[in-house]
Amino acid sequence: MNRQTKQILDDYEQSIEGIDFDMRMDLAEIITSSLADNRWSQVDLGSRSGIDPSVLSRLIHARENFTVRTVARIVHALGLRGKIQAVLPEATTNLRLSYGHTGVGDIDGTNIKAENPKRSWIVAGPSHADAA
């Protein structure tokens, strides 16, 4: 990779837009992972969450901006809780890994902390009812 390309990618990753895009991808990952785990279609999740499937499709494509209310509807439909966390940039890979390898229901967000948070992150974990 030449220096110019690498600089463009690094600049994007560190920009507000890059953080915004990563958070959209977080939600997209939560949606697609849970669709697979539950063997639901987008229509199924749409009917359970009250979100139009076309909006879900745009969320999966990371094209759609979303509100906290939208995230709440989705995680509620999945029987999960949502949490926004701010973590160090280098912590994001490990966070995604723990998500990707264990599935939506296994995240224990309380283990992920940052003393000097610089990046926001969305995670979904078991609801309090499930945890109990």
Among the residue ranges 43-51, 54-62, 71-79, 106-114, the one whose residues contact another protein (CB under 8 A) = 54-62
**How many C-alpha atoms does 97 have within 13 Å on its Cβ side?**
5
Helix/strand/coil for 120:
strand
Identify which of residues 3 and 128 has a Cβ nearer to another protein in the complex: 3
Identify which of residues 16 and 129 has a Cβ nearer to another protein in the complex: 16
Which residues, other chains included, contact 21 with Cβ-Cβ below 8 Å and sequence gap of 6+?
A: 62
CB of 84 to another protein, least distance (A): 18
Distance, CA of 89 to chain centre? 15
Residues 90-129 that bind another protein (CB under 8 A): 93, 96-97, 99-101
DSSP structure class, residue 90: T
Identify which of residues 30 and 75 has a Cβ nearer to another protein in the complex: 30
**Alpha helices per DSSP H over the chain:** 3-14, 16-38, 42-49, 53-60, 68-77, 91-102, 128-131
33 part of the interface to another protein, by CB under 8 A? yes
Distance CA 49, CA 65 (A): 17
22 part of the interface to another protein, by CB under 8 A? yes
- Among 43, 52, 54, 61, which residue interacts with another protein (rule: CB under 8 A)? 61
Contact set with another protein (CB under 8 A): 1-2, 4-6, 8-9, 12-13, 17-18, 21-22, 25, 28-29, 32-33, 35-36, 42, 60-63, 93, 96-97, 99-101
